[in-house]
A and B are shown apart, each in its own frame.
Chain A
Amino acid sequence: MSPLNAVLRRELRSYFVTPVAYVFLVIFLVLAGILTFYAGDFYERGQADLQPFFTMHPWLYLILVPAITMRMWAEEAKGGTLELLLTLPLTLWQAMLGKFFAAWLFIGLALLLTFPIWITVNYLGTPDNGVILAGYLGSWLMAGSFVAIGACLSALTRSQVVAFILTALVCVLLILVGQPQVLDFFSGTLPRKLINAVAHLSMLRHFEAIARGVLDVRDLVYFLLSTLGWLVAGVLLLDLKRTR
């Protein structure tokens, strides 16, 4: 078995032997339900789709993804196992990808477990299941970007709390940066082109179309590229720590 695979399996297992996985899954599912049915006006809208459900995902990930990723490297640095791991015959990329995929797959599992909501909407009406599938796919891709941010920032510090706060901060910035309120605030001081460019960095902007069921290649590329970018930054950070 390749070292990447071994790391992935170890990480996934470590979620389930500690309460982390169960606490995460319960909170994710409960929050997803509450937010969809109460805050998202699921019934009042009178439409058979999952748009209120998907609209809440960025905010769910904002809290829950940092909780999953904060320990990724910070715990290893603090406990000394980083030295063990990095003196085993594997590259930094294999270690990083193993950990990334473990967390990403885990969030994929959490998404799968929201299937009762999908059953509910199919029971109540006749939704476009293609749109819902696209929504799930987009949500998972966005989660990948969040996980990559968390993976990178966890490599920055030995403290899990610091990793959590930094990740949540960066994520909230990336969610909000495209909001009209934020853009209006800067419209007087910054050139229009820059504001437009910044607006395009927004997670929310790219996700909104996906949540409506529109899978635009540009949005997919955005999420894949930002995931890759943060992973590269994380690997560079780990490498820098060995030299510094």
Chain B
Amino acid sequence: MIETDQLTRRYGNLTAVDALSIRVEPGQVLGLLGPNGAGKSTAMRMIAGFLVPSSGTARVCGHDVVREPLKAKRALGYLPEGAPSYGEMTVREFLQFIVRMRGLSGEVAYRRFDAVVQQLQLEEVLGLCIDTLSKGLRRRVGLAQAILHDPPVLMLDEPTDGLDPNQKHAVRQLIDVMARDRTILVSTHLLEEVHALCNRVVIIARGKLLADATPAELEARSRYHGAVSFSAPGSGMSQEMLGRLPQVAAIEVDPLDGRITVFPKPGARVLEPVETLLREQGLEVSEIQLERGRLDEVFRQITTGGNGAEGHA
């Protein structure tokens, strides 16, 4: 479990993290979302015990990170931003170093080492210098380091940054598997990640918590939530008729490809009426899409809109 209470960090006049209070329970994967410079990494560094909070507290598994740093650090697996590691060491040496630092020994040490190497598919690069590895492999070594001691709490700062789509998929699967009985805090600025990984999202900007919701709840805040879009050649006349449907709030036509998006009035459903209308008009529609809502739009609205909290926080 991770709890922060009014966690604050100031650099001179700049407040990087401003009274952040979050709570992540076992079984949860919380996505910490925010634009670059929002304070995600600073918050994580405080929870990991690297930076000391200016005020407020953070606890990992009930251990205060300032008063019981060693206990908190033992319960935590942490991947710092950019997955730093000692470049002049080979992967094997580096992981063995972490094994010793984590105080693992004997049978357990071997078992964990082998399990992690297998999970992150590092068998073939064990003898290579970390300096010579690709960005994706270095990230995997960083992840291996974080999960080596099988921690109950995992905190990953942009774990899929710099990975190709296949590697991203592999890392997400790994996190999914680990998520069952663990507390996981993941920071990211990739919105696709939120869907793939998280069952809860916290959005911060300028150090402040602006939203705390499930991905679906966030999508529901989008203007596009429940909207219907389709392409139909020669549908110029049908626009007027669509506009007359009682459920429809607005219609937009993409000037590039002519795709039509129909926005519902609050609480209304437009898919069925639109379909019925198109069928009655005898218009050929190759495909029709019901939008879940666009996270990027919600994200922009919350992080730039100044007053994005709207009491949801």
Inter-chain contacts of B98 with A (CB < 8 A): 88
Check A17–B88 contact: CB distance below 8 A.
yes
Residue from B80, B100, B101 in contact with A83 in the complex, judged by beta carbons closer than 8 Å: B80
Contact A89 B70 (CB under 8 A): yes
| A6 x B101 contact (CB < 8 A) | yes
State whether the Cβ of A197 lies closer than 8 Å to any Cβ in chain B.
no
C-alpha spacing A244/B48, complex, angstroms:
16
User: A83, B103: Cβ atoms under 8 Å?
Assistant: no
| Contact in complex: A88, B101 (CB < 8 Å) | yes
Write the B73-110 contact mask toward A (1 if CB under 8 angstroms, else 0): 11010101110111111000100011011110100000
| Residues in A neighbouring B86, C-beta threshold 8 A | 10, 14, 81
Q: Which of B51, B78, B85 contacts A81 (CB 8 A)?
A: B85
Bound Cα distance from A86 to B78, whole angstroms? 11
Q: Binary interface profile of A, 10-44, with partner B (CB < 8 Å = 1, else 0)?
A: 10011001100000000000000000000000000
B79 nearest CB neighbor, chain A only: A84
Judged by a CB distance under 8 angstroms, whether A79 is at the interface is: yes
Q: Is the CB of A1 within 8 A of B145?
A: no
For A193, the chain B residues whose CB sits under 8 A away are none
Q: What CA separation (Å) do A5 and B97 show in the bound complex?
A: 10
Verify A14–B88 contact, CB threshold 8 A: yes
- Which secondary structure dominates where chain A touches chain B? helix
B45, CB-defined interface residue at 8 Å: yes
Complex alpha-carbon distance, A3 and B78, angstroms: 17
Q: Which residues of A contact B102 (CB under 8 A)?
A: 88-89
| Whole-angstrom CA separation of A18 from B48 in the bound complex | 30
Interface string of B13-55 (1 = CB under 8 A from A): 0000000000000000000000000000000010011111000
Name the residue of chain B whose CB is nearest to the CB of A18.
B88
Nearest B residue to A14, CB-CB: B88
With A13-B93, A14-B86, A89-B102 in contact, is A84–B145 under 8 Å at CB?
Answer: yes
CB distance from A134 to the nearest CB of B (A): 36
B249 CB, nearest partner CB in chain A, Å = 49
A90 within 8 A of B: yes
User: With a CB–CB cut-off of 8 A, which chain B residues contact A90?
Assistant: 70, 101
| B88, A87: Cβ atoms closer than 8 Å | no
- Chain B interface residue bracket vs A: 20 to 34
A84:B88 contact, CB within 8 angstroms:
no
- Is A46 part of the contact surface with B, judged by Cβ < 8 Å? no
Which residues in window 261-291 of B have CB below 8 A to A? Answer: none
| Complexed CA–CA distance, A3 and B97 (Å) | 9
Docked Cα-Cα span, A87 to B80, in Å, equals 9
Q: How far is the CA of A80 from the CA of B158 in the complex (A)?
A: 15
- Closest CB-CB distance, A160 to chain B, in whole Å? 15
Does B45 contact A83, Cβ atoms closer than 8 Å? Answer: yes
In the complex, what residues of B have CB within 8 A of residue A80's CB? Answer: 80-82, 84
A89's nearest neighbour on chain B, judged by CB, is B73
A91 and B68 alpha carbons, distance in the complex (Å): 11
- The interface residues of chain A lying within 8 Å CB-to-CB of B97 are 6, 9-10
Residue A218 is within 8 A (CB to CB) of chain B in the complex: no
Given A1-B105, A80-B80, A81-B85, A86:B100 Cβ within 8 A: no
**A residues in contact with B76, CB < 8 Å:** 87
- What residue of chain A has the Cβ atom nearest to residue B98's Cβ? A88
Q: Does A45 contact B (CB under 8 A)?
A: no
Tell which of B50, B80, B105, B145 touches A242, judged by Cβ atoms closer than 8 Å. B50
Known: A1-B100, A3-B101. A84 touches B84 (CB 8 A): yes
Judge whether B48 and A79 touch: CB under 8 Å.
Answer: no
A110 to chain B, nearest CB (A): 21
A84 touches B74 (CB 8 A): no
Least CB distance, B7 to chain A, in whole angstroms = 15
Q: Is A126 an interface residue (CB 8 A)?
A: no
Contact partner of A89 (CB less than 8 A), chosen from B51, B74, B82, B145, is: B74
Does any Cβ of B come within 8 Å of A243's Cβ? yes
On whether A84 and B85 interact (CB within 8 A), knowing A5-B100, A6-B97, A89-B102, the answer reads yes
Contacts of B50 in A (CB 8 A): 83, 86-87, 242
Q: In whole angstroms, what is the CA distance A201 to B66 when docked?
A: 37
Could you tell me the distance between the alpha carbons of A6 and B95 in the complex, rounded to whole angstroms? 12
A89 engages B101 (CB within 8 Å):
yes
Q: Is the CB of A81 within 8 A of B101?
A: no
Determine which of A1, A83, A242 lies in contact with B84 in the assembled complex, contact meaning CB atoms within 8 Å. Answer: A83
> What would 24 A/B residue contacts be, using CB atoms closer than 8 Å?
A1-B105, A7-B101, A14-B86, A14-B88, A17-B88, A80-B80, A80-B81, A81-B86, A84-B80, A86-B50, A87-B73, A87-B78, A88-B101, A88-B102, A89-B70, A89-B73, A89-B74, A89-B101, A89-B102, A89-B103, A91-B69, A91-B70, A242-B51, A242-B52
The interface of chain A, by Cβ under 8 A from chain B, is 1, 3, 5-7, 9-10, 13-14, 17-18, 79-81, 83-84, 86-91, 242-243
Extra inter-chain contacts (18) besides given A5-B100, A84-B84, A90-B70, CB under 8 Å: A1-B100, A1-B103, A1-B105, A3-B100, A9-B100, A10-B89, A13-B93, A80-B82, A81-B84, A84-B80, A87-B48, A88-B73, A88-B102, A89-B70, A89-B101, A91-B69, A242-B51, A243-B51
